[in-house]
């Protein structure tokens, strides 16, 4: 017989919401298992049992926003660190991109629980996703995510001559970090001093460390795409809402 699992874990696995949201909905009596309301935190169910959520939960979820920000240098993705401001402080009515076509009216409540779905280092720029929606966070940074992230990386070779083709192949597949083999990447020259990286994982300072391993120094790093969502013409330091017809 299949082992019972926590209801909140199962809801997250099914992509209904994040675990935190699941716990909140369970406490409010918004979750049914095989038609019966389950309101006790930590309740366990069998994987084949049917989970439904009340309309209030769906309505609350539909009001959650996701923001696409063009992060400048000098801002951290998450919590404030060493005197540096978090990227969320850039989100205000004044910094919203004038070309944003979404009909959503900015409201200060959109800043509540608006968290980064993935990191972008303090010295890196470009596309950063901030979301109130646990489903999107799980999609982008969950353990089994396979969504591509694309970067433009300006580099300088620290050895004589040019980077050998064999080392470019290593960047594509064959390097390890922290004793663990990296997933295959797509790395190619964009122009004489700029590489295009497409990754399906995001270890801490991964691109910088990969480059270092083959004698390349990173001079600039910009994320330009996550899945199907592109940075496009969004100006530095400005943001827009993810529209209802956009999907990562």
Asked whether residue 48 is assigned to any structural domain, the reply reads yes
Across the range 141-170, mean pLDDT stands at: 92
Please indicate, yes or no, whether residues 134 and 26 belong to a single structural domain of this protein. no
Domain count, the chain: 3
CATH number at residue 212: 3.30.2350.10
Please indicate, yes or no, whether residues 81 and 198 belong to a single structural domain of this protein. no
Comparing C-alpha atoms, which of 180, 183, 71 is closest to residue 121? 71
Counting residues of the chain whose pLDDT is more than 90, the rounded percentage is 72
Please indicate, yes or no, whether residues 78 and 139 belong to a single structural domain of this protein. yes
Q: 47, 62, 77: which is the final residue of a domain? A: 62
Could you tell me the CA-to-CA distances from 49 to 18, 173, 226 in Å, in that order? 19, 42, 34
CATH number at residue 128: 3.30.70.580
Could you tell me the CA-to-CA distances from 188 to 163, 166, 220 in Å, in that order? 12, 12, 16
Please indicate, yes or no, whether residues 168 and 53 belong to a single structural domain of this protein. no
Please indicate, yes or no, whether residues 33 and 78 belong to a single structural domain of this protein. no
Question: What's the token pair of residue 85?
Answer: 């401001």
Asked whether residue 246 is assigned to any structural domain, the reply reads no
Give tens-digit pLDDT for 89-123: 999 999 999 999 999 999 888 998 899 998 899 99
Separation CA 103–CA 172 (nearest Å): 41
Asked whether residue 125 is assigned to any structural domain, the reply reads yes
Please indicate, yes or no, whether residues 51 and 101 belong to a single structural domain of this protein. no
Asked whether residue 178 is assigned to any structural domain, the reply reads yes
Please indicate, yes or no, whether residues 121 and 97 belong to a single structural domain of this protein. yes
pLDDT at 62 over 80: no
Mean of the per-residue pLDDT values of the chain: 92
Asked whether residue 248 is assigned to any structural domain, the reply reads no
Which position has the higher pLDDT, 97 or 134? Answer: 97
In this prediction the pTM is: 0.80
Which residue range forms the structural domain that includes residue 115?
Answer: 66-144+229-241
- Does residue 121 carry a catalytic annotation? yes
Please indicate, yes or no, whether residues 132 and 33 belong to a single structural domain of this protein. no
Please indicate, yes or no, whether residues 181 and 80 belong to a single structural domain of this protein. no
List the catalytic residue out of 94, 100, 121, 245.
Answer: 121
Asked whether residue 214 is assigned to any structural domain, the reply reads yes
Provide the 10 A C-beta neighbour count for residue 206. 20
pLDDT at 225 over 80: yes
């Amino acid at each position: 017989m299949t082992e019972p699992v926590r209801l909140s874990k199962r809801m997250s696995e099914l992509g209904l919401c994040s675990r935190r949201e699941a716990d909140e909905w369970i406490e409010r009596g918004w979750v049914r298992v095989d038609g019966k309301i389950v309101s006790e935190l930590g309740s366990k169910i069998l994987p084949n049992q049917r989970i439904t959520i009340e309309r209030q939960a769906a309505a609350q979820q539909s009001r959650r926003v996701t923001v696409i920000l063009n992060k400048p240098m000098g801002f951290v993705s998450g919590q404030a660190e060493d005197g540096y401001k978090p990227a969320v402080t850039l989100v205000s009515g004044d910094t919203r991109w004038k070309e944003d076509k979404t009909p959503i009216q900015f409201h200060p409540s959109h800043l509540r629980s608006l968290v980064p779905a993935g990191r972008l280092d303090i010295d890196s720029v470009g596309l950063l996703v901030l979301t109130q929606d646990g489903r999107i966070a799980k999609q982008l940074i969950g353990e089994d995510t396979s969504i591509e992230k694309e970067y433009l990386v300006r580099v300088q070779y620290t050895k004589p001559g040019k980077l050998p083709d064999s080392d470019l192949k290593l960047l594509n597949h064959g390097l390890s970090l922290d004793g663990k083999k990296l997933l295959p990447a797509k790395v190619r020259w964009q122009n004489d001093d700029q590489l295009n990286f497409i990754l399906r994982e995001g270890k801490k300072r991964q691109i910088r460390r990969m480059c270092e391993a083959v004698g390349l120094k990173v001079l600039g790093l910009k994320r330009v795409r996550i899945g199907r969502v592109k940075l496009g013409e969004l100006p530095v330091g400005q943001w827009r809402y993810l529209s209802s017809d956009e999907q990562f």
